Structure 1
């Protein structure tokens, strides 16, 4: 009987620890690993960063230049179930940690902003952005003007010539902004 009592004690302690780790990972912060070179030189491939989940938990809009973690599947509704199942701990246990749906990008535009790409620069509301963090001069240009809709942001990688971002996947719903780099 004493052995079972000890097993129950240890099992319940581990269960509580797992539950607390899940709650912290879903609502407060979690570590994540940078995958790829789209944020060079600011963030390097395989670099580990901590993500504050508070902005997602309390639905705060990110600021310009915030580095955010986002769900790139913008064509589908995001649910609380996604937040739980894609938590770092559960994604490791489920084997889904390597899925390339989570992106790390920089916020360039917010609701109502007009974004343009000309003269190898990004313009927000007619003004060129000062972007000392860029890896190299941007080669991308376009005659298209992007107007960020309400409830969305426009994001770009710092390595503009090698980044899959809002130019490709479109505007990012605020519900898909999962947190920001701490």
Structure 2
């Protein structure tokens, strides 16, 4: 079990609820009116915080969760400093902390940008793009993806100009990739060698890659993402904050991800 923020929210909701509810039951049993202005300090704090942490727990666990992008592995789609929203229910409703799915929903589609718990360190969240679905045969050779033997079309858009903390990627080649109907930009560093191999995706697993192809720690290096590790689908940039890029990048606010 990973003692993360979800665990803190569950614990805080439970403790404040028990304190407030226990005091209310005590007053009922002793037939005393509820003394709003005279309740103990601990009960007052519990009464104030319980609805707040409960609402945050419900929203974060079952609807949407915010994340901040810490690295450039998904450039140019996501930049360092992007704050994104992740849809928590699109791949099924899960209980917080134990991550047990209780309601089946949709399955990830090729091209989805997903947040997941890193299989080798489940306390850490990763974000990548789904390339291979269960049963797919994924090849990666000479910077080109092959899905079940079919090469994925790429069109060069010229040299990329990075900004802020991503300025180090300036000069990389930017390409428009058509991942079987999902068009998005990627970055390629022609002088960098990466893993070239064929990967067969097992049932119940997904093959993921970063859009910054030569600067991404992804399925080419550590394997597949189990369905149980999925957190949700990234769909929206609501803020970007990068001190090395003059603070807020207003042009990125409200960007829908694809």
Q: What TM-score, normalized to structure 1?
A: 0.78
1:109–1:124 CA contact under 8 A, matched in 2? yes
What 5-or-longer segments of structure 1 have no aligned partner? 79-98
Q: Cα 1:48–1:2, aligned 2, differ >3 Å: closer, same or farther? A: closer
Is residue 110 from structure 1 mapped to residue 133 from structure 2 by the alignment? yes
1:67–1:180 CA contact under 8 A, matched in 2? yes
> Corresponding residue for 1:84?
none
> Corresponding residue for 2:54?
19
Give the number of equivalent residue pairs: 158
In the aligned structure 2, how far is the partner of 1:2 from the partner of 1:170?
A: 57
Q: Cα 1:11–1:75, aligned 2, differ >3 Å: closer, same or farther? A: closer
What 5-or-longer segments of structure 2 have no aligned partner? 1-34, 94-102, 154-176, 178-183, 236-258
Q: Deviations over 1:6-42 (max 9, x none)?
A: 9656642421221121121111111110110000000
Q: What TM-score, normalized to structure 2?
A: 0.56
Partner SS state of residue 145, structure 2: strand
> Corresponding residue for 2:117?
71
Q: Deviations over 1:23-76 (max 9, x none)?
A: 21111111110110000000001210000000242443211110000111x258
1:117–1:140 CA contact under 8 A, matched in 2? no
1:120–1:141 CA contact under 8 A, matched in 2? no
Alignment match of 2:206 (pick from 153, 166, 180): 153
Going by fraction, where is strand more abundant, 1 or 2? 2
CA-based RMSD of the aligned residues comes to 2.3
Alignment match of 2:151 (pick from 100, 109, 128): 128
Partner SS state of residue 116, structure 1: strand
Q: Which has the higher contact order (CA 8 A, sep 6+)?
A: 1
> Corresponding residue for 2:233?
180
1:134–1:159 CA contact under 8 A, matched in 2? yes
In the aligned structure 1, how far is the partner of 2:54 from the partner of 2:200?
A: 42
Q: Deviations over 1:91-115 (max 9, x none)?
A: xxxxxxxx7x211100000001000
Is residue 40 from structure 1 mapped to residue 93 from structure 2 by the alignment? no
